Amino acid sequence: MNFPSKSSSQSPSLGSCQQGKRTPVEVVQAWIEDFLKTHPTLSGDEAVKLSEAYGRILAKDVIAPISIPHFQRGMMDGFAVRAEDLQGATEEKPVLLERLGLSRPGQGTSLQVQPGTAIQIFTGAPLPDGADTVIPIEHCKPHNDKQTYWEMGVELPAGKHVAEPGEDLMEGSKILAAGRRIRPADVGLLSMLGMKRVPVRQKPKVSLLITGNELLPPGSQPEGFRFADSNGPMLQSLVQRDGAYPLEIKNVIDHPEEVKETLRQTEADLILVSGGTSAGGEDYLPQILKEDGELIFHGIATKPGGPAGIGFWEGKLVFLLPGNPVACYWIYELFVSQIPQRWGGKATKIAYSKSMRRLNQSILSKEGRTDFVRGTLVNGGITPLQIQGGSRLTSIVSADGFLIIPSEVDQLNAGDTTEFYHFENDLL
């Protein structure tokens, strides 16, 4: 997510896994930035249906292949006339014009406006030949019962209430630039331009590997001491938010061969593994990467999320996310989020709105460590939640947002002002 962090004087290479020592967040951030410089994008584009284009990243500039409108069009219900014929007309002294017929939207008319005549027109219909102006119906009154002659009660300049071809958009002009995130009105315009398919950047594919013998598939009822996985569905949602495509969640038991086999089968651009990354007897992931892949970092100075790791498996970037759901969420937001965003062609964007807020209570941290502190807003100030561990997902769900205590700060005091990230606005 690329949260603002103080740049570190340490070189990223110093961040390699060191026994017993946690790497500062800034060092990991710098390493990710370097990685993204050398792996800036996934090259592929694809053409999607118009109905699937919303929210995608445009892969090519759109040059208008036609003008909008592509014909001269009436913009009001009324009469197509020659402005000349309205000269001197007022409500009291209207001019009398003969009605020749009607121009309807989508149809038009083959009739021509001659001096002293008018053709009735509905909004959006083509302007009949000979006319240069539309007089709105509210200035027109039938002169007799047959409605053959009409009284026109206002003088108008030529061109009034007429849209010229290309007035909205001229053929050949560049209207949308590559890299734009496609908005609802863009989709409407692309349709008018006659584009059934839209060239967009391919979404990065993200593999979600969820380890834990205690876990059941998403949405399951508890069975004995086993319970449903929260991290898979949560990561799926985060990955989608960041413009990537989450592959099917793979629930894997805590067995090194099973984990390796699942890793071997993954076809993603980025691999996220949940669980098995701390120091317990079943935490095989760091070892697997060390032996059969590459382990760059293991142990990061952040709370929650300390056991997190980063490495490579068969050349693919792997994040080891702690199984504790809050830690998993935080490590994703802190480090991972920016990668699918960038690869998908989006400028990296923090997913939360921010405001400066006063702290209602002091919070202790530790120098060298970056903390993710959930809080509620009370009287406009931040009250940190009492429970700040990595395990309780309700501490995110019931919070209004969070603040970050950067590594160089060891304490925030009541009354201090700090940036608060709002959960309720977490749409990109």
Q: Which is nearer to Mg ion, 182 or 271 (CB)?
A: 271
Q: Which is nearer to ligand AMP, 334 or 382 (CB)?
A: 334
Q: Which does 371 bind (CB under 5 to 8 A by kind): ligand AMP, Mg ion, none?
A: none
CB of 251 vs Mg ion, minimal distance in Å: 12
**Cβ proximity of 338 and 33 under 8 Å:** no
Q: Which is nearer to Mg ion, 78 or 323 (CB)?
A: 323
Q: Which does 246 bind (CB under 5 to 8 A by kind): ligand AMP, Mg ion, none?
A: none
Q: Which of residues 370-409 bind ligand AMP (CB under 6 A)?
A: none
Q: Is 231 in the site for ligand AMP (CB under 6 A)?
A: yes
* H-assigned helices in 219-307: 231-241, 256-265, 285-292
DSSP three-state, residue 312 = strand
Q: Which of residues 306-335 bind ligand AMP (CB under 6 A)?
A: 322-325
CA–CA distance, 171 with 194 (Å, rounded to integer): 12
CB of 319 vs Mg ion, minimal distance in Å: 16
Q: Which of 152, 208, 215, 399 binds ligand AMP (CB under 6 A)?
A: 215
Q: Is 286 in the site for Mg ion (CB under 5 A)?
A: no
CB of 214 vs Mg ion, minimal distance in Å: 7
Listed residue (101, 95, 96) closest to 80, CA to CA: 101
Listed residue (167, 174, 171) closest to 127, CA to CA: 167
Q: Is 323 in the site for Mg ion (CB under 5 A)?
A: yes
Determine the interface stretch with Mg ion among 33-41, 150-158, 276-284, 389-397 (rule: CB under 5 A): 276-284
- For 124, list phi and psi in degrees, rounded to 5: 95, -10
**Cβ proximity of 285 and 297 under 8 Å:** no
Torsion of CA 192, 193, 198, 201, to 10 degrees: -110
Q: Which of residues 255-274 bind ligand AMP (CB under 6 A)?
A: 274
**Cβ proximity of 322 and 307 under 8 Å:** yes
Relative orientation angle of helices 256-265 and 285-292, to the nearest 10 degrees: 60
Instruction: Tally Cβ neighbours within 10 Å of residue 46.
Output: 13
* Window 277-306: contact mask with ligand AMP (x via CB under 6 A): xx-x--x-----------------------
Residues that bind ligand AMP (CB under 6 A): 210, 212, 214-215, 229-231, 274-278, 280, 283, 322-325
What is the contact surface with Mg ion in residues (CB under 5 A)?
212, 275-276, 323
